[in-house]
Amino acid sequence: MAACAQVSAPAAASATTPSVFGYRDFTQQAKWDATFMAVPDAKLAGEHLKVLTSAPHWASSPEDYATAVYVADKFKAAGLKTEIVPYRVRLTKPVSILVEAFDDGQKIMSGPTPEHVDPTKNGGDPFQDDPRILPAFNGSSPSGEVTAEVVYANYGTLADFKKLAELGVSVKDKIVLVRYGENFRGIKAYIAEQYGAKGVLIYSDPADDGYFRGDEYPKGPYRPASAVQRGSVQFLPIYPGDPDTPGVASTLQLPASSRLSESQLQNDEPNIPVNPLSWHDAEPILKALGGSESPRDWQGALPFTYHLGPGKVTVHMKLVEDNSLRTIWDVIGTIPGTEKDAPVIAGNHRDAWVYGAVDPNSGTAAMLETVHGLGVLLQQGWKPRRTIIIGSWDAEEEGLIGSTEWVEQHAGELAHAVAYFNTDVGVSGPSFDASAVPSLKEFVREVTKSVPSPAGGTVYDQWKKDQAANKGRRGHGSEHANTPPEKDVRIGNLGSGSDYTPFLQHIGVPSTDIGSDGPYGVYHSVFDNYNWFIKFADPTFVYEQQQARVFGLEILHMADADVLPYDYDLYGQNIVSYLTTAEEQATKAKLTLDFSAADAAAKRFAAAGAAIRAVQANPPAHTAALNVALREAEGALLNPVGLPKRPWYKHTIYSPGEFTGYAAVVIPGVTEGIEAADTERAQGQIVALADALNRSAAILEAVKK
């Protein structure tokens, strides 16, 4: 399958116009592509980033509102119909944080220590002393004061807690010390609470993103001793968004009676205090811990043997949190199309724990240059076939709140949206990577074949080289696991941790997530700022320009394609593979399950996907019915009653795992039933999966050839 030729400056379509899947004739689109590609400007992207990161802008703060106004002004200047949309949501803001540790009664640590690097070495950091920086905290943690012995639980995965139990180490009534990594931080608290812990401390081990990986900031890109990873500990796999209003938009007009009461919130947020630590503050606790040596694969990079505890070390945590309703602001820009009921949506969040140069404003800067390019096309008379909506989401860091509330408010009209394109950590280095539903994986590959890479060749070429060298990585825990081997570049599955979640997993909009990655050790710390970015991520902003182009071509090609460029052939192959793996897992777990209905439905869906692919390649004169069927087939994969224990999540093929949070679990109802050794639950989910696949297959089969 050919793709559009590389374009780096304004140019007419080449003499031999390539064929692109979804287009009858790509000639005119090639001209629009060439015009668009010449617009995104590296220098302007850098200017956007400098403005957006000039101050800490935690969601709901005055500085956060200033970024909303900046983005809205850029949208308006490009000709987009623009509005700032407020929501009233519950957010946790720290009032005071105290964590102190004692060894046989002698104080060995009192913190948290302020994040600070030596200003006389390697240029220091010009942003670290801003008085508006909030203390390092975990959003959604309750207030609380506890004193208890400490147990070290490695990464705090379900397997880690089970291992402690096997070793005879109880965490009941203890404070659990875990390190960041392997799963979503909220899941660490979720599991610790289930095992009876009184509190949780989450620290950054230098083995994972500090000196063990390379030079510390400001000499290198990795986490210095005092840097802390902030982050929400909302139980994201239960439901994202405003914790008070699952499934309901938190508009300013929403009455208090429509919000959950305090007692009803227990399923979505921790009931025990949780706070992050730097390795500087965790080190004395770990060093003094008694008890057995930890399993050797639990050893981090600090220069002593890690022990499990409990013993002579106690920790006193006193967290005072202001848990209040606050106003946040989404920015929504619209370009009306000739087909208004099948919009293309693209977005990036704007709020940050502190400055957020990489996460998320490298994505915002790229998105603004994408909008800049779309604006130039509008000035030249272009009008998209499908309406385009660009969202700048707020309060993503707190639990995907801005995007979730907007989706919940507009769920009915978004039922026919044809795609959601996400970027979050837009640029932390030069290695492009992506995650997507299978129906859009080839679409992403094709787009990257059209965009030049600053490293030479196309983005696709460099992506392939990076994967061959094993450099590819995705933020937010997306992974390539559970995906059948492919001959082409690998594209991950969508779990959670960014704003595609409400679109795909709640209302069934096919989605992608793109980024350009590199050594990024300062995630969610004070040091994720403009100074770090220009030293280690993208000093000349050429990868910002690259990402603006890729993002823009995703939007343009989906908005203007004659036939929606979905690949249900690959989707079907993947689902058949997922079921094969599930059957193997069930056999290994000695569960007796009947997969026959799901197997038959998966094969039917795969056959329908292969057949519809042939129709898309040679479409009928009138494509409206074909496009409706293609879009409805994805929506049919939703289970209206949702997943067991977490009904907000409705997608039968992809969701974040109950015990992973970020990473995708495929055919989640079935897979998690098997993992829980719950035969009744697993069998019920096999039936629900078969029903969804048969619904979707029937829609594809009904298309007239």
Q: Is the pLDDT of residue 522 over 80?
A: yes
Average pLDDT over residues 678-698: 98
pLDDT at 475: 41
**Of 427, 426, 420, nearest to 347 (Cα)?**
420
Q: What is the dihedral of CA 71, 75, 76, 78, to 10 degrees?
A: 140
> Which pLDDT does position 1 carry in this prediction?
37
Task: Give the pLDDT mean for 210-217.
Answer: 98
The pTM assigned to this predicted structure is 0.95
pLDDT attached to residue 8: 34
pLDDT at position 244: 94
User: Which of 684, 659, 682, 658 lies closest to 671, judged by CA?
Assistant: 682
Over 70: is that where the pLDDT of 663 sits? yes
How much is the pLDDT for 484? 64
Mind telling me the catalytic residues?
Answer: 396, 596, 651
DSSP state of 414: G
SS (H, E, C) 189-224: HHHHHHCCCCEEEEECCHHHHCCCCCCECCCCCECC
**What's the token pair of residue 634?**
């994805």
- How many angstroms separate the CA atoms of 422 and 20, rounded? 22
What is the pLDDT at residue 374? 98
Beta bridge partners of 666: 654
The residues with which 100 forms a beta bridge, in sequence order, are 110, 316
Residue 168 phi/psi, 5-degree rounding, is: 80, 20
What are the residues facing 145 on neighbouring strands? Answer: 318
Look at residue 13 and tell me whether its pLDDT is greater than 50: no
What is residue 12's predicted lDDT score, i.e. its pLDDT? 36
State the pLDDT at residue 200: 98
Q: What is the DSSP letter of 702?
A: T
Q: What average pLDDT score do residues 539-549 get?
A: 98
In angstroms, the CA 44 to CA 212 distance is: 36
pLDDT over threshold 70, residue 591:
yes
CB atoms within 10 A of CB 4: 25
Which tens digit of pLDDT belongs to each residue from 82-131? 999 999 999 999 999 999 999 999 999 999 999 999 999 999 999 999 99
* Amino acid 94: pLDDT: 98
Instruction: State the pLDDT at residue 662.
Output: 86
Mean pLDDT of the chain: 94
Percent of the chain at pLDDT exceeding 90: 92
396-451 per-position pLDDT tens digit: 999 999 999 999 999 999 989 999 999 999 999 999 999 999 999 999 999 999 99
Confirm if 372 and 549 have CB atoms less than 8 A apart: no
What pLDDT, on the 0 to 100 scale, is given for residue 340? 79
Rounded average pLDDT over 580-587 = 97
Please give the backbone phi and psi of residue 595, each rounded to the nearest 5 degrees, phi first: -95, 5
SS (H, E, C) 326-354: EEEEEEEEEECCCEEEEEEEEEEECCCCC
User: Which segment of 328-337, 476-485, 597-606, 690-699 scores lowest on mean pLDDT?
Assistant: 476-485
Percentage of the chain surpassing pLDDT 70?
95
pLDDT at 18 over 90: no
| Cβ within 8 Å of residue 362, ≥6 positions away | 49, 425, 426, 427, 428, 533, 537, 538, 544, 547
Q: Pick from 349, 477, 365, 369: which is nearest to 422 by CA?
A: 349
Q: How far does Cα 452 stand from its chain's mean position? A: 25
Q: Is residue 7 over pLDDT 60?
A: no
Residue entry with tokens 């929506």: 635
What confidence score (pLDDT) does residue 431 get?
Answer: 97
Task: Please compute the mean of the pLDDT values over residues 367-376 and round it to a whole number.
Answer: 98
The count of C-alpha atoms lying within 13 angstroms of the C-alpha of 139, restricted to the half-sphere facing its C-beta, is: 28
Q: Residue 183 phi/psi, 5° resolution?
A: -150, 170
Compute the average pLDDT of residues 66-79: 98
pLDDT, position 165: 98
Residue type, 138: N
pLDDT score recorded for residue 264: 73
- How many alpha carbons lie under 13 Å from residue 463 in its C-beta half-sphere? 27
DSSP state at residue 509:
-
Give the pLDDT score at 263. Answer: 72
pLDDT band at 482 (very low <50, low <70, confident <90, very high): low
Position 483 scores a pLDDT of 59
